[in-house]
A and B are shown apart, each in its own frame.
Chain A
Amino acid sequence: MTRISRIVGATILSVTVAIVGATDHAPAQAKTELTVALSSFSAETLDPALQGHNVKYYLSLIFDYLVGVTPEGQLTPAGGLASKWEPSADHKRWTFHLRKGVKFHTGEEMTSEDVKFSLQRAMSKRSTTGYAGPLRTLIQDIETPAPDRVVIVLKQPTLIIPTYLSRSLSTEGMVLPKKYIEANGDDVFARKPVGTGPYKFVEQVTGSHIKLTAVDNHWRLGVPKYKNVTFRLISEETTRIAMLRRGEIDVADVSRERVKELEREGFPVHFRKDEAVLQLWFVLGPDGWVAPTKDKRVREALNLAIDRKEIAQAIFAGRAEPAAVPFGLTWSWAHVGFKATPDMAYPYDPARAKKLLADAGVGSGFPLDVYAFQLPGLPEGKAFAEAVAGYWEKIGVKPKLIPVDYPAFRKLWVDRKAPGAVGYYNIANRDWIGTYALLEKMAYTPSKLNATVNDPEIDGMIAQVMDQTDQAKINALMRNIFTRLRSEHYGVPVVYIHAAYATSKTLGKYSPGAVMYDLFIDTLASGKP
């Protein structure tokens, strides 16, 4: 028995020693390394033509855009490869003047041929960037009169080309190396991407990380502050926070409910205010609106039944604010001069909601399918759906919660197989062009695919925006669209949610900016004061 005890003891000891011996406190993060942990990498593709907005987090470090933006979302000649741009008098030719001496990571100089190639590639049928369609519709030709000059010839006059090719929207404006791609092919480029950005690609392990290393000197950032930047995919929040505590990472997206705890521990938490508007919408039938949400009074009642302040506090830990305008993407409002007036705010008024339902002839309630799902950036999704269903129940509606995952709902929605049902999305905030593009899909009857609104008046205004070359008139049209969306209650905007990013205690000043799907990690790496 003594022998057995010794064997067991030795076994336990050896396991313990193995574990303790394996213990290695992560060394303090060297100042030359920056590690960003994100809950999602989206598609994990490194080819800008193969994904839309949500790969910008890491691609923005490898590639430069033709047109730059400030972290606040304003176009700036200082931030992109075009140092200036101007339209012809009829707004059908846009000339972009390129910086000289900007080199790709291969050492080749960037020229107008690269810009032309990149844009053609972004508009190709293979492209899945999302704005390939609108660009194909708009662009007739791309001329390269000089290595430092590109002229984009349009089929119709428009003001929106610079924004479409800027960092404020998607990836279409990223400039890629023509010679490298033509010599090596698309597949090699997707595995070993080359750009003119401040960081070069080192390695990608799908499902794990993307590692980048700094160029010696970048035209925009100077000598980057960090030698290496690594994006790590850590989908579990507890793990991200543990890594932050251990000093393994420098920046992490965190949920709103963990913010207080992290702040108590001394970790700085930075917010992207109004990162998204959380909105419910009514799924249309094959022929458009269906009863009873076809009735404006019913739509208003569903809005009045919800206590937005309570949702902001109870579900979003106070890191959200009531919303009042359907598709009211606030980052666009500054551009078009729109402001939600106090009278637009929906009060919490279940009594009036009940009366409106009675007036609409559905005072005894009606069944309403509510699809409930989680979304990236919205771990509160199902709790939110349950809360909304609870409010609607109080005014007599009979909501039925249907738990699904988002792809399943989206299929039902775009196929119009769930007429009259309700779904939701945390719609990413964006500038006016992005907002317009979204409205053109979701609030424009001819778009068919994703439409959630059928209103000839709004259709007319949306159609006019594209052809306008007078910014003042565009702004007026956009303001009128927002006003109409609100007055007709075309959707149930609930809250603006703020996204939280915690950083290590030693990282210093950081602002994740106000540009759709971009964290401006490069501002952290800037070697310039």
Chain B
Amino acid sequence: MIRFVVVRLLQSLVALAILTIVVFILARATGDPLHMILPMSATEEDYANARAYLGLDKPYVHQYLSFVGKAVTGDFGNSIRARKPVVELLQERLPNSLKLALFAMIVSLGLAFPLGVMAAVKKDTAIDRIAQIVAVLGQSLPTFWVAIILVEVVAGRLQWLPAGGITGFSSYVLPGFTLGWFVVAGMMRLLRSGMLEVLDSEYVKLARVKGVVEHRVIWLHALKNALIPVVTFAGIYFAILVTTAIVVETVFAWPGLGRLAYDGITSRDFPVIQAVVLTTAAIVAAVNLCVDCLYAFIDPRIRYAR
């Protein structure tokens, strides 16, 4: 087991190392951040001064080694745009993204569980179809559209909930629902199929034969076994929600990691782009590693598979 974990850990580190090169090159390939921070009236001397001050006048190899050398100590340099340490920006934004993702996961679990179980138990009934419609809409409606409609109708017209920013618990509802709905769909379908499979298994039939009451069969015996893929799915999706909520964070003026990435990209803020990409990659790698380990723990055959 230890060997398995070490190998997976090394693989993750190699992936991150390759990513540092890719993000370093791509960030610099499409533009110069000085064109964004210096006004049109800036002289060549202004450009030269700013380039030297920001360390952008050094050879690329030097810049890369400096970036990697500092990154391993947790120092991602200063943001070219906001002129603050990038770590500080990450510390400001990451908790906001985590909180929003957590809220979205609670929303999605709260909706997916009853819908998924009911859809399986009431297979081919109206409830099943309603659940299917919820799933299809959740996965097919573009997030930006759902977000805009919610802002326009629920916040702007009905004035029930705040439209944007973090102003208290209520400000989590619209962005949390928008993010969570997409996940509901996948989770519910997974739960439904898992439940259908389990409900048809021998041990569930045996439980029924033994006279176990139906709700215990469903919620205790069947659901427990149908949960494994759902938990895996939820774990991976949680990482994705934390790291990719750019659209939702933009529409709801949510100061999270996604917005930081967006602002970094549009202003060619290399240190921010590099830090956000590496942080998100590290989160995804860590979650994947945990999932791999969990699988290996659950199913020992995985540990020995090449």
Contacts and interface: CB of A to CB of B under 8 A. Distances in A.
Interface of A: 1, 3-4, 7-8, 11-12, 14-15, 19, 22-26, 43-45, 47, 50-54, 125-128, 130-134, 136, 170, 190-191, 205-209, 232-236, 238-243, 245-246, 248, 405, 407-408, 410-411, 414, 425, 427, 434, 437-438, 440-442, 447-450
B128 to A, nearest CB: 13
Contacts of A1: 121, 214
Interface in B133-186: 148, 151-152, 155-157, 159-170, 172-173
A238 B152 contact: yes
B31 interface: yes
B82 interface: yes
Interface stretch (B17-25, B42-50, B188-196): B42-50
B37 interface: yes
B82 A206 contact: yes
A125 B49 CA distance: 5
A308 B218 CA distance: 69
Contact of A43 (B37, B156, B215, B260): B37
Interface residues of B, number: 72
Given A232-B253, A233-B253, A22 B161 contact: yes
A450 B44 CA distance: 9
B220 to A, nearest CB: 12
A277 to B, nearest CB: 13
7 contacts: A4-B214, A11-B113, A51-B37, A128-B53, A134-B43, A208-B165, A442-B40
Nearest to A430: B41
A22 B169 contact: yes
Contacts of A240: 164
Interface string B28-69: 001111011111111111110110110000000000000000
Given A8-B114, A22-B161, A407-B30, 13 more contacts: A4-B117, A4-B118, A23-B160, A24-B161, A26-B167, A206-B93, A239-B163, A246-B155, A246-B156, A407-B33, A407-B36, A414-B35, A437-B41
B282 interface: no
B255 interface: yes
B197 to A, nearest CB: 19
A26 to B, nearest CB: 7
Interface of B: 30-33, 35-47, 49-50, 52-53, 81-84, 89, 92-93, 107, 110-111, 113-114, 117-118, 121, 148, 151-152, 155-157, 159-170, 172-173, 214-215, 218-219, 250-253, 255-256, 259-260, 263, 266-268
A46 to B, nearest CB: 9
Given A239-B151, A242-B155, A407-B268, A208 B166 contact: yes
A420 to B, nearest CB: 20
The B interface, classified by DSSP as helix, strand, loop or mixed, is: helix
Contacts of A438: 40-41
Contacts of B32: 407, 410-411
B55 to A, nearest CB: 13
Nearest to A437: B41
Nearest to A404: B30
Contacts of A407: 30-33, 35-36, 266-268
A286 B66 CA distance: 34
B43 A449 contact: yes
A472 to B, nearest CB: 25
A170 B39 CA distance: 10
A424 to B, nearest CB: 13
Contacts of A11: 110, 113-114
Contacts of A405: 30-31, 266
B37 A441 contact: no
Nearest to A207: B255
Contacts of A136: 45
B152 A130 contact: no
Nearest to B79: A206
Contacts of B156: 238, 241-242, 245-246
Top 9 A-B pairs ranked by shortest CB distance? A242-B156, A407-B31, A242-B163, A130-B39, A133-B43, A207-B255, A208-B255, A52-B39, A410-B35
A171 to B, nearest CB: 11
A238 B151 contact: yes
A278 to B, nearest CB: 14
Given A4-B215, A206-B82, A206-B255, A12 B114 contact: yes
Given A12-B114, A242-B156, A441-B40, A125 B81 contact: no
B114 A126 contact: no
B46 A130 contact: yes
B13 to A, nearest CB: 30
Interface centre among A233, A236, A441 (most CB of B within 10 A): A236
Contacts of A134: 41, 43
Contacts of B161: 22-24
Nearest to B121: A4
A208 B152 CA distance: 20
A128 B46 contact: yes
B83 A47 contact: yes
A206 B50 CA distance: 22
A243 B164 CA distance: 8
A19 B37 CA distance: 42
Contacts of B169: 22
A405 B111 CA distance: 40
Contacts of B118: 4, 8
Contact of B151 (A26, A43, A209, A236): A236
A22 B170 contact: yes
A15 B38 contact: no
B259 A245 contact: no
B278 to A, nearest CB: 19
A125 B43 CA distance: 12
Nearest to B164: A239
Contacts of B31: 405, 407-408, 410-411
